[in-house]
A and B are shown apart, each in its own frame.
Chain A
Amino acid sequence: MSPFKFHPLTFVWVFILSLSLSVCGFAQNTASVAITGEVATPLNLTLQDLSTFKQVSQKVKERDGKEHEFKGVALIELLEKAGVTTGSKLRGENLAKYVLIKAADGYEVIYALAEIDPEFTSQVIILATEKDGQPIPSGEGPFRIITPNDKKPARWIREVRSIKIAFAKD
C-alpha cells in the first residue's frame, strides 16, 4: 500500500481551501481604477497594471506648504490606452467631452478632455501611485490625481476609484 494514499474527501477539502484562499486574495487586492464611458476599451487598472506604463514624476507643493514628489502615469496615456478621442481626434463635438473622476469617499471633480491633452496643454496631469518614493498612504491613495498647474489642490483628487469620459449634453 502506498504511503501517499489520500482519503477521497481530502481533494474536496484542498479544493475548498484553495478556492477560499483565492477569494481572500481578491478581497485583499481589489484596489483599482475603472476607466469607462466614451471609451473604445473600458479598463480596470490595478497598481500592478499601472506599473507597466511609463512612469512620470511631478514635484508639487501640497496644502501643507511642503514639496512632495509624486510618481505615476500620465493621465493622457491611460486615456489613449482606453481609446478616448485625444490628439488629432480631439476636435468638433469631442471638445464637449469631460472627464469625471470619482473618489472612494464620494468626492468628484471634472476636467475637460482638452485640459489633459498635450496638444492643448504643456502640463502633464498624472495618476500618481507613489509619494516621496512610497506607496500613497490610505486615505490619500493608492491612486491620486496630481495637476501641477492648478494653484489650489482641490482637483488633486485622492482615493481615485473611477474615471468616466462623457459628453456634456446640455
Chain B
Amino acid sequence: MKRWFKQAKFEKHQSGWLFIGLVASFFLFCGLTQSFENDKPTPYTLRYPANFGARYTIPADNPTTKEGVYLGRLLFYEKKLSAGNSISCESCHLQKLAFTDGKALSAGADGSLTTRSSMSLANLLWVRNFFWDGRSPNLEQQAAFPLTNVHEMGQPLEESVAKLRQTALYPPLFKAAFGSDIVTSDHILKALAQFERTLISADSKYDRYLAGIYQPTAQEIRGMELFQNAPNPQKQIRGANCEHCHGGVKTFKELFHNNGLDSIFNDNGRENFTNQPEDKGRFRVPTLRNIMLTAPYMHDGRFQHIEQVLDHYNEHIRESETLSSFLKDVSNEINGKKLMLTQNEKTDIISFLSMLTDSTFITNPEFSNPHLTLKSQ
C-alpha cells in the first residue's frame, strides 16, 4: 500500500485519475451489494380490525411479501394458467361480486360444469379448511385443485410452468418474489396463496357499526337482533339463530353442517373427503360477508334469491340422518317444529345482511386485474 501511495505521488497526473477511478468503483461496488440486499422481498402487512383476531397460520415457507402478492395477483388474472388460455381464476371469482361469478355452477376451460358453486374469496386468511367439503388445509394446496381440475382451468401445473417460462413478464417477477427467475409450480401456488390472503373484507356498514362510526337504522337493528338470537318463546325472545353457525365478526365458524337442503343427497359433501357416514350431506359454513352480492346460494347454487334462503331455514328444512341438531325443533312458538318467522322479520334479517356488503372490498384497486394497467402503460 505504502509503495502504491508513493507511486501515486510521483506520477501525479496519471495516477490521480486511477485513484479517483478506484474510489468510484469502490462506491459503485458498495452500491451494488446494497441493491442486492434490497432484492429481498418486502414484507406485506396484513391489515384487519382487532376484532377479527389473529387465529390464522401463514406457512413459514411462504411469508406474505409485496412482490409475492403482486405476482399472485397477476397470476390470479392470468389466462395462460388454463387449458387453451381460455379462463383465469377471475372467470369464476369476479371482484365486483365479492369474488363469485353469479352462477349456480361454473363452466370450465372445456365448457363442462363444475359440481359445486364458486365460493366467495373474502377473509380466507382465517379459513382453516378450504372448499365446500374442507378438503384443503391451506391456500397453497387449495390452488392446485381449480388450476388442474378438468371442469375448471384444466391444465397440468407443468404446462402452466412451461407457458410462464416463455414469457418476458414472469421470470423477473418470480425472481423478485422468490429469489429465482426459474418459474416453478410451487412458486405459482405460493404466489396465488399470498395474494388471496390479502383479500380482507372488513369495511362494511357492519364493521363501521362495530367501530362506533355508523348508526344502523331501526330495521337493521331488528334484523341484527333476530340474526343473533336463538328463539326462546317461553321468554318471548324471537330469533333466527343464524349466529349459531354464522356468529362472530367474520360471520362464519369453521364448521360443517347438513343444513337440511335434502333428504336424499346428490352430493355427499364432506363424507366424500372424510369417509365418515356422519359427514353425509355436510358442507362448509360459508362466510356471509357480501352475501347480497354472492347469489345464487348454497353449495349447488339452488337458490337464486336471498328470500329463498330465508324461506328454506324458516319453512323447508328436510329431515335426514345427519341433519344438524341446531336446525331441529328450533321455533319461535312453543312446541313449534319450524322457525316461524314472520314476513316482516325475514325482511328485517335481509336488511341486516345488506349491512355486510363491503363496497371498499369490491372496488379496491389492489385486488383488481393488474394486466389492464400493465397494458395501458
In the assembled complex, B279 has its CB within 8 A of some CB on chain A:
yes
Query: A53 → chain B, closest Cβ, in Å?
Result: 23
What is the CA–CA distance of A138 and B282 in the complex, to the nearest angstrom? 14
Q: A105-B282, A106-B134, A106-B254 are in contact. Are A139 and B325 (CB under 8 A)?
A: yes
Q: A138-B321, A139-B325 are in contact. Are A106 and B129 (CB under 8 A)?
A: yes
Query: A35 → chain B, closest Cβ, in Å?
Result: 18
The answer to whether A107 touches B255 (Cβ under 8 A) is yes
The answer to whether A106 touches B278 (Cβ under 8 A) is no
Q: Which residues of A lie under 8 Å from residue B250 when comparing CB positions?
A: none
In the assembled complex, B229 has its CB within 8 A of some CB on chain A:
no
In the assembled complex, A104 has its CB within 8 A of some CB on chain B:
yes
Q: Which residues of B lie under 8 Å from residue A159 when comparing CB positions?
A: 278
Q: Which residues of chain B from 238 to 255 have a CB within 8 Å of any chain A CB?
A: 253-255
Chain B, interface SS category: loop
Q: Which residues of A lie under 8 Å from residue B282 when comparing CB positions?
A: 105
What is the CA–CA distance of A138 and B274 in the complex, to the nearest angstrom? 16
What is the CA–CA distance of A81 and B325 in the complex, to the nearest angstrom? 33
In the assembled complex, A27 has its CB within 8 A of some CB on chain B:
yes
Query: B233 → chain A, closest Cβ, in Å?
Result: 14
Q: Which residues of B lie under 8 Å from residue A27 when comparing CB positions?
A: 275
In the assembled complex, B38 has its CB within 8 A of some CB on chain A:
no
Query: B259 → chain A, closest Cβ, in Å?
Result: 11
Q: Which residues of B lie under 8 Å from residue A30 when comparing CB positions?
A: 275-276
What is the CA–CA distance of A105 and B274 in the complex, to the nearest angstrom? 11
Q: Which residues of B lie under 8 Å from residue A105 when comparing CB positions?
A: 255-257, 282, 324
In the assembled complex, B268 has its CB within 8 A of some CB on chain A:
no
In the assembled complex, A140 has its CB within 8 A of some CB on chain B:
yes
The answer to whether B322 touches A139 (Cβ under 8 A) is yes
The chain B residue with its CB closest to the CB of A159 is B278
Q: Which of B253, B275, B278 is close to A139, meaning CB atoms less than 8 Å apart?
A: B278
Q: Which residues of B lie under 8 Å from residue A106 when comparing CB positions?
A: 129, 134, 253-256
Query: A143 → chain B, closest Cβ, in Å?
Result: 11
Query: A68 → chain B, closest Cβ, in Å?
Result: 15
The answer to whether A104 touches B134 (Cβ under 8 A) is no
Query: A141 → chain B, closest Cβ, in Å?
Result: 9
Q: Which of A105, A139, A159 has the most CB of B within 10 A?
A: A105
Q: Which residues of chain B from 270 to 326 have a CB within 8 Å of any chain A CB?
A: 274-276, 278-279, 282, 321-325
Query: B274 → chain A, closest Cβ, in Å?
Result: 8
Q: Which residues of chain A from 88 to 132 have a CB within 8 Å of any chain B CB?
A: 104-108
What is the CA–CA distance of A145 and B279 in the complex, to the nearest angstrom? 20
Q: A138-B321, A139-B325 are in contact. Are A104 and B257 (CB under 8 A)?
A: no
What is the CA–CA distance of A30 and B323 in the complex, to the nearest angstrom? 20
Q: Which residues of B lie under 8 Å from residue A31 when comparing CB positions?
A: 276
Q: Which of A30, A106, A138, A140 has the most CB of B within 10 A?
A: A106
Q: Which residues of A lie under 8 Å from residue B323 when comparing CB positions?
A: 139
What is the CA–CA distance of A31 and B323 in the complex, to the nearest angstrom? 18
The answer to whether A138 touches B255 (Cβ under 8 A) is no
The chain B residue with its CB closest to the CB of A141 is B278
Query: B266 → chain A, closest Cβ, in Å?
Result: 21
The chain A residue with its CB closest to the CB of B329 is A64
What is the CA–CA distance of A159 and B282 in the complex, to the nearest angstrom? 14
Q: A138-B321, A139-B322, A139-B325 are in contact. Are A104 and B255 (CB under 8 A)?
A: no
The answer to whether B321 touches A104 (Cβ under 8 A) is no
What is the CA–CA distance of A105 and B134 in the complex, to the nearest angstrom? 11
Q: Which residues of A lie under 8 Å from residue B324 when comparing CB positions?
A: 105, 139
What is the CA–CA distance of A30 and B274 in the complex, to the nearest angstrom? 11
The answer to whether B325 touches A140 (Cβ under 8 A) is yes
Q: Which residues of B lie under 8 Å from residue A104 when comparing CB positions?
A: 256, 274, 276, 278-279
Q: Which residues of A lie under 8 Å from residue B256 when comparing CB positions?
A: 104-106
What is the CA–CA distance of A107 and B323 in the complex, to the nearest angstrom? 16
Query: A132 → chain B, closest Cβ, in Å?
Result: 16
Query: B283 → chain A, closest Cβ, in Å?
Result: 11
Q: Which residues of B lie under 8 Å from residue A158 when comparing CB positions?
A: 325
Query: A137 → chain B, closest Cβ, in Å?
Result: 9
What is the CA–CA distance of A92 and B165 in the complex, to the nearest angstrom? 55
Q: Which residues of A lie under 8 Å from residue B255 when comparing CB positions?
A: 105-107
What is the CA–CA distance of A31 and B276 in the complex, to the nearest angstrom? 8
The chain A residue with its CB closest to the CB of B255 is A106
Q: A105-B255, A105-B257, A106-B129 are in contact. Are A138 and B134 (CB under 8 A)?
A: no
Which 6 pairs across A and B sit closest by C-beta, in order of nearness? A106-B255, A139-B325, A106-B254, A105-B255, A105-B256, A106-B256
Q: Which residues of B contact A (CB under 8 A)?
A: 129, 134, 253-257, 274-276, 278-279, 282, 321-325
Instruction: For the A-B complex with A27-B275, A105-B324 known, give 11 more contacts whose Cβ atoms are closer than 8 Å.
Output: A30-B276, A31-B276, A104-B274, A104-B276, A104-B278, A105-B255, A107-B255, A138-B321, A139-B322, A139-B324, A140-B325
Q: Which residues of A contact B (CB under 8 A)?
A: 27, 30-31, 104-108, 138-140, 158-159
- Pairs across A and B, CB under 8 Å, 6 listed: A31-B276, A104-B274, A104-B279, A138-B321, A139-B322, A139-B325
